[in-house]
Amino acid sequence: MKNKILKLSFLLIFLFVTIGISSNFCKCYAQSSKVETSAKSMIVMETLHDKVLYSKNENTQLPMASTTKIVTAITVIENCDDLDALVTIPKSATLAEGSSIYLRANEQLTIRQLLYGLMLQSGNDAAETLALELGNGSLENFAELMNQTAENCGAENSNFVTPHGLDDKEHYTTAYDLAKITSYALKNPVFKEIVSCKKYIIPATEHNTARTLLNKNKLLSSLDGCDGVKTGYTKKSGRCLVSSCTRNGMQVVCVVLNCGPMFEDSTNLINKAFEEYKLYEILPSYKFVDDVVVEDGKTDKVRIYNKEGYNVVANETEINKYRVEYDYNKTVKAPIDKDTKLGEVKIYYDNSLIFTDNLYNIENVEGLDKIDKLKDILEKW
């Protein structure tokens, strides 16, 4: 009996210790977690080098509703020769389900106006009109263009079959892919101008009255520095939001998929990113590096410089891991043409080479002629 009690005591002690260790482990894991969000999938990415700042299930394939229209818009912009060309609205596009800018059959709008209707008011009728126009009458053809755009942006786990994002089992993306595509799209000035616009008016047409479009992205008015980009919702996808924000030269993209408090969570994630990360100039562009001694030249020295600069987004711990090294000859021989490569500048992060640029001389250096050489010899003698 005593042995049974003793064994039971050891078992209880073991269970308490195990539970304690497990509890401490979970607590430690929670404390080490960088972000909190109710999103099923999330990512915060800076747009300079597409560096991931925070993430959660960022490679999980999910439906993304109308955030699809980010891909639709940049695909249209890059495949259209004239954004101010008039388009006749097909009847089939006016029958598109969901959100609408109330297009009417045979009405004529420009592609640019349709893009504003697409991105501000999330018009599914505008999406289908644009897709049919750029896809030569075929939504399937336009989907191929969308997938090519995504591939060009480095999105490898996405598939697009609709221009508006209405539910389809073959239509999906990941938070990471959507951030990559958005980061790419924001570098296009037309896309950037459209998604940052809070209000746009489409003038009256022969078939319709004037329409005032209001951007559905509330962060444009509530979040300091917010400059885009798109909301989305279906029952299957839940609430989705892709937002971008720029402060002090640093821009971040935040993607939350299937996130109830999408505006609140995105605001917290973006503010956290700007609190913890900053834009640093590691190497200024066109920086004077040194004077190099010139042999047999009409000048004794020549200045060298690098052309490209290098900036990074980093936190306080990361910034100390960057190192800049210069490698060049201390002496060169004339004649030398301007912008001759005389060395290299290299940037390392944690001993890994991440950037290389050439070092060049700033001006021409003429060589000494025979008389100059003789004078030089006599002066040295």
Hey, which residues are catalytic here?
66, 69, 122
Q: What is the dihedral of CA 324, 326, 327, 333, to 10 degrees?
A: 170
CB 279 within 8 A of CB 318: no
As a whole number of angstroms, the distance between CA 27 and CA 21 comes to 10
Question: Given the DSSP bridges, would you call strands 331-333 and 287-295 parallel, antiparallel or unpaired?
Answer: parallel
Dihedral-angle region of residue 56 (phi above 0 means left; psi in -120 to 50 means alpha; beta otherwise): beta
Contacts 24+ apart (CB under 8 A), 187-194: 187/47, 188/74, 188/77, 188/78, 190/77, 190/83, 190/115, 191/73, 191/74, 191/77, 192/227, 192/228, 194/73, 194/115, 194/116, 194/119, 194/120
SS (H, E, C) 22-70: HHHHHHHHHHHCCCCCCCCEEEEEECCCCCEEEEECCCCCECCHHHHHH
As a whole number of angstroms, the distance between CA 252 and CA 80 comes to 27
**Could you tell me the CA-to-CA distances from 176 to 75, 234, 345 in Å, in that order?**
19, 20, 32
Helix 124-134 and helix 139-152, axial crossing angle in degrees, nearest 10: 90
